[in-house]
Structure 1
């Protein structure tokens, strides 16, 4: 009887609109900071979250009852539209308790902060951590964590069937069109496929977060900081309740724990093989993972030699232990920005002060633009597209030397389709054009060229901490005009969904198909 009742409840859930289900999850999540605020005797904040969540569940229940007898529309393109709504419309609801509990900011600022969190950008509108109380810090990290979970699930259930989000480079099909293979089950039952992916990945995502949280607590981290950093690393949002790792009490041990879990943003094969093609189920053979490690080591080495050159110019000497700390700071920070998490090592500033050199902002921006692995929570162009362009460049150089040669790499690179490099190049050009458009829009709203470039790169690569670290003088988001903030919101949404997905949504031919 219980089994039949459970199947009946699942059947009811499958009939409800996807956006309504996500809205319900967000409403339930509001009770977590409400309970936490209650334990801290912060009744005003607790009431803000509790009543907001209760109101959200009430509205969701009413809409669900009204739509219960309607047959839901099938199709992954409609689910892609739900993702767009989750990043644009849902933050209006998520911002309500933040606006009510904070009480000294505008609703636009609260909306901007929630868009930044749910897209895993982590742009800090409130640079002073003391301005927000503990439950609000927990809410920001929790929204970012849920946004990362949404991307984990959507990658396999929505983006892969449509050959978007980096999958257009692999041997799948035309971007925006369902194909065989991964999409076969989706074409028959897209909602069922989505639920199966959710049941598979959600426990893994939550379990890894709990493990990291416990390890940080063992390393000596404070409770709130540990859980926020654990959720922020899994979601690569870079949200911190203490202003970054400089306020952490876990020291280098805590950074080492975070570093290990950042590997999950380099390749999806670190936690799942649901989107792997034949022959690429092994992590050591995965091109994304290998090129990611290569970039981290190469850039960290170049930055370390840059520090040594600055030290030599000043006539100073570096102790061996000090050099090890500098190397660790370089490796961790490079890894963090490549995966678009944006956490800065506590030893990063020591290296700058030691050498007398400024922050290598262009290097950090370049790492953020490259981004992490396909189908992970990382943003940017993605390592698989970079790998496809590398293979094409290598092949073209070989043809300059041997014009009549025949490539023998096809068997070893079965993951890249024949036109993969061309599609990757098209995406790169579209990314550059989008970057230019947002630079121009921010300039219209009175933002300077350098600041507009940093803001656009940070938003499109979903690397919010880049705003504070890429320039010598941190950019204060709170001082931007309302138009500039809305422009950045649009950039963060486009950076999260990517330009090809937006084009697929506005293409009438794909909807007719």
Structure 2
């Protein structure tokens, strides 16, 4: 591995990230909330650290290898979470411990949306904006944004893109050059954010709330500027807009790119992953709405609005709320929670295992049933008209196995810290899927759980954001051999 180049890239990326601390300074001055000192201090620490890392190795020139890409990605997300916590930790009004500050930062950057803060309606505007901005940056992936700049430094970006971009289709390029790919993803993401903000503003949100919630909606993050989340606005129109953009952001951004170029919606309905995703959204919404209405939890209109909203919010791992789904009757909270493990499509901002993997697991399971009936027959697995190679199926099953084992290990670790069964299970599930809200003691916020549990959950968030293998590969002795 080329450690000089790795540190050079890490230093550059830290200096780039330091610039994202400047907008909150402007918000603090504009709203006169007195928190500009926290962001200015964090900015100076971050840019000076990045400069100190970059200067000794700024002349290093080597091509990045795959292992370098994995290490940079894991290192940067870890370091970014650390430096992103500085404004929370420095702020005297928040009075946050280091653990809480890191938890909030990691939750924002991984678009998990699990918060340790309460009284959001009374927090300084600059802090509220910064939380939303962290999720927006995490949604597109700071690495994918940065690869558009790295070629100017003489560094190719494909290794970073392959390590960062989620889903089984991560090796596909939208355009011939990775720089153009990163730019295409960024502008699609930016355009969707602008449209979402305008829709929120038209529906009655203030400019501040519209921008903040557009950040977390398109990022599928779930942070809000109010304790009551989307329920604060008590508006069916805002709920409908939010539901649409959560669903839309859960679709593979490659499909959005193709649709924009072709000026057509046809390719959405011919894509097998989208059809699987949309089908389960429809089925889940129908079950949720009818059960809420049938049990008398709400009237029909409220069942339709709350049921549809909460199901899409949980399945896409956004985590917005208009109601406490964990208090809904019988099996419903667990059904919604388990759907978060599937998450959105590969190449989207959603968390979870991704629709493509779940679809391939289902196809493989059905193939095994047919093999029991016809042991000598050959049944290829197809996605659309394309045959899926067995190596891909093996990789998907490996991911599934490691994912579930990781959940089990962290679940037991949380029980060991003293959390009850439901809280521990839902907390690790909500964090590794990047959902955010759980059940039990973490249904509303994570502020009351113990510090060791928060550290375990920080690791779970990072593991989920980097899709397990990108992080776990660093613990393999083979990775470090020459």
TM-score after normalising by structure 1: 0.80
**Within 2, Cα distance between the matches of 1:309 and 1:502?**
45
Q: Is the alpha carbon distance of 1:217 and 1:435 closer, same or farther for their aligned partners in structure 2, counting shifts above 3 Å? A: same
Which residue of the partner structure matches residue 97 of structure 2? 106
Which residue of the partner structure matches residue 505 of structure 1? 474
Among 41, 60, 71, the residue aligned to 1:70: 60
* Cα offset, 1:374, TM superposition: 1.1
Alignment of 1:331 onto 2:322:
no
Q: Is the 8 A contact 1:225 1:242 kept in 2?
A: no
* Cα offset, 1:265, TM superposition: 1.5
Alignment of 1:198 onto 2:182:
yes
Q: Is the alpha carbon distance of 1:217 and 1:65 closer, same or farther for their aligned partners in structure 2, counting shifts above 3 Å? A: same
Does 233-242 or 67-76 show the bigger shift?
A: 67-76
SS in 2 for 1:282: helix
Among 146, 150, 154, the residue aligned to 2:141: 150
Q: Is the 8 A contact 1:361 1:471 kept in 2?
A: no
Among 484, 493, 500, the residue aligned to 2:453: 484
Q: Is the alpha carbon distance of 1:266 and 1:32 closer, same or farther for their aligned partners in structure 2, counting shifts above 3 Å? A: same
Which residue of the partner structure matches residue 11 of structure 2? 20
Alignment of 1:207 onto 2:191:
yes
Among 404, 409, 412, the residue aligned to 1:440: 412
Among 325, 328, 336, the residue aligned to 1:364: 336
Q: Is the 8 A contact 2:29 2:36 kept in 1?
A: yes
* Cα offset, 1:67, TM superposition: 2.3
Q: Is the alpha carbon distance of 1:128 and 1:103 closer, same or farther for their aligned partners in structure 2, counting shifts above 3 Å? A: closer
Q: Is the alpha carbon distance of 1:287 and 1:160 closer, same or farther for their aligned partners in structure 2, counting shifts above 3 Å? A: farther
Q: Is the alpha carbon distance of 1:219 and 1:158 closer, same or farther for their aligned partners in structure 2, counting shifts above 3 Å? A: farther
Which residue of the partner structure matches residue 246 of structure 1? 231
SS in 2 for 1:434: helix
* CA offsets 1:419-471 (integer angstroms, 9 cap, x no match): 43333222222111111110111112111111110111011101112x2xx34
Among 298, 322, 343, the residue aligned to 2:283: 298
* Cα offset, 1:255, TM superposition: 2.1
Q: Is the 8 A contact 1:152 1:377 kept in 2?
A: no
TM-score after normalising by structure 2: 0.85
RMSD, aligned α-carbons: 3.3
* Cα offset, 1:182, TM superposition: 5.4
* Cα offset, 1:90, TM superposition: 1.9
Does 357-366 or 152-161 show the bigger shift?
A: 152-161
CA radius of gyration, larger in? 1
Q: Where do 1:175-190 residues align within 5 Å?
A: none
Which residue of the partner structure matches residue 434 of structure 2? 462
Q: Is the 8 A contact 1:160 1:183 kept in 2?
A: no
Q: Is the 8 A contact 1:161 1:182 kept in 2?
A: no
**Within 1, Cα distance between the matches of 2:139 and 2:170?**
26
Q: Is the 8 A contact 1:27 1:56 kept in 2?
A: yes
Which residue of the partner structure matches residue 190 of structure 1? none
Alignment of 1:269 onto 2:254:
yes
Among 69, 80, 101, the residue aligned to 1:79: 69
Q: Is the alpha carbon distance of 1:62 and 1:420 closer, same or farther for their aligned partners in structure 2, counting shifts above 3 Å? A: closer
Q: Is the 8 A contact 1:225 1:241 kept in 2?
A: yes
Q: Is the 8 A contact 2:144 2:182 kept in 1?
A: yes
* Cα offset, 1:37, TM superposition: 1.0
Does 289-298 or 472-481 show the bigger shift?
A: 472-481
**Within 1, Cα distance between the matches of 2:416 and 2:42?**
36
Does 328-337 or 446-455 show the bigger shift?
A: 328-337
Q: Is the 8 A contact 1:15 1:71 kept in 2?
A: no
**Within 2, Cα distance between the matches of 1:241 and 1:415?**
46
* CA offsets 1:92-136 (integer angstroms, 9 cap, x no match): 211112222234221221111101111111101113313522111
Which residue of the partner structure matches residue 284 of structure 1? 269
Q: Is the 8 A contact 1:145 1:234 kept in 2?
A: yes
* Cα offset, 1:308, TM superposition: 3.7
* CA offsets 1:154-185 (integer angstroms, 9 cap, x no match): 89944774698432xx697xxxxxxxx75998
Which residue of the partner structure matches residue 35 of structure 2? 45
Q: Is the 8 A contact 2:255 2:267 kept in 1?
A: no
**Within 1, Cα distance between the matches of 2:186 and 2:63?**
24
* Cα offset, 1:414, TM superposition: 1.7
* Cα offset, 1:385, TM superposition: 0.7
**Within 1, Cα distance between the matches of 2:391 and 2:308?**
34
Which residue of the partner structure matches residue 87 of structure 2? 97
**Within 1, Cα distance between the matches of 2:403 and 2:224?**
28
